[in-house]
Chain A
Amino acid sequence: AQSVTQPDIHITVSEGASLELRCNYSYGATPYLFWYVQSPGQGLQLLLKYFSGDTLVQGIKGFEAEFKRSQSSFNLRKPSVHWSDAAEYFCAVGAQTNAGKSTFGDGTTLTVKP
Chain B
Amino acid sequence: DTEVTQTPKHLVMGMTNKKSLKCEQHMGHRAMYWYKQKAKKPPELMFVYSYEKLSINESVPSRFSPECPNSSLLNLHLHALQPEDSALYLCASSRWVGNQPQHFGDGTRLSIL
Give A residues with C-beta under 8 Å from B. 32, 34, 36, 41-46, 49, 51, 88, 90, 94-102, 104-107, 109
Contacts and interface: CB of A to CB of B under 8 A. Distances in A.
A43 B42 contact: no
Contact of B97 (A95, A104, A106, A109): A95
A94 B100 contact: yes
A41 B41 contact: no
A67 to B, nearest CB: 14
B81 interface: no
Interface in B70-99: 90, 92, 96-99
Contacts of A34: 101
Contact of A99 (B4, B98, B100, B109): B98
A45 B98 CA distance: 18
A49 B102 CA distance: 11
A36 B6 CA distance: 19
Given A41-B106, A43-B2, A101-B56, A106 B101 contact: no
B76 to A, nearest CB: 15
The 9 A-B residue pairs with the shortest CB-CB distance in the complex, in nearest-first order: A94-B99, A43-B104, A104-B42, A98-B98, A32-B99, A95-B98, A44-B104, A43-B106, A46-B101
Contact of A100 (B43, B92, B98): B98
Interface in B1-19: 2, 4, 6
A87 B101 CA distance: 20
A100 B99 CA distance: 8
B97 A98 contact: yes
Given A44-B43, A95-B99, 9 more contacts: A43-B105, A44-B90, A44-B92, A94-B98, A95-B97, A95-B98, A97-B98, A104-B43, A107-B42
